[in-house]
Copies of this chain bind each other. A is one copy, B any other.
Amino acid sequence: MTDHVAGVLDQWARERPDLDVSPMAVVGRVSRVSRRFAAETARTFAQHGLDHASFDVLATLRRAGPPYALSPTALTRSSMVTSGAISQRLDRLEARGLVVRRPRPTDGRGTDVALTDEGKALVDRALPDHLATEERLLAALSDEQRAELATLLSALLVSLE
C-alpha cells in the first residue's frame, strides 16, 4: 500500500534522477497529513458552530486556566497567525458573546480578552468531540507508533521554533 507522495517521488526519480528528492518524503507527507487532519477536524468544529480559528482562540483561553483571560498579544504568539488575524477573530467571537474585551487597568494600551460563561461552556462541549475525531484520525497507528511520531515531530519543532 502506498500513498500519493510515494508516487511523486517515483516521478521525480524518473524525470530528475540527478536530484536528491528524499526530503520530500517527509515534507510532502507532513503537508498532506496536515491538510487531511484540518479537513476532518473542521467538520467536528462545524457541528458546534465553530471553525478552526475560533476554536483555537477559545481553547487557548480555556487551557490557560482561571480567569480564562489573555492579551491579544499572547493569543497571537501562541497561534501562528498575525496580530491582524487575531483582531478579526476576536471581533467575530465577541460579536457572538463567546469572549469579552476589557481594557487592562495597569496598562492603557493593553486589553484583556476573557472567555464568557457561554464561551467556556462551548469549548468544554466541543473539546471531547474534537479529541474523539483526532483519536479516529490516528487509528491506523499503535500507541508506540504515535509516541515515536510525536517524538520525531517534537525534535523537528524544537529545531524550527
Asked if B150 and A11 sit within 8 Å, CB to CB, the answer is no
The answer to whether the Cβ of A152 comes within 8 Å of any Cβ in the partner chain is: yes
Residues of B within 8 A of A62 (CB): 15
Chain A positions near chain B (C-beta within 8 angstroms):
1-6, 8, 11-12, 14-16, 19-27, 29-38, 41, 62-65, 78, 80, 124, 127-128, 131, 134-135, 137-141, 145-150, 152-161
* Chain copies in the assembled complex: 2
Return A12 CB to nearest CB of chain B, in Å.
5
Instruction: Name A77's closest neighbour in chain B (CB-CB).
Output: B4
Return A145 CB to nearest CB of chain B, in Å.
6
Asked if B154 and A140 sit within 8 Å, CB to CB, the answer is no
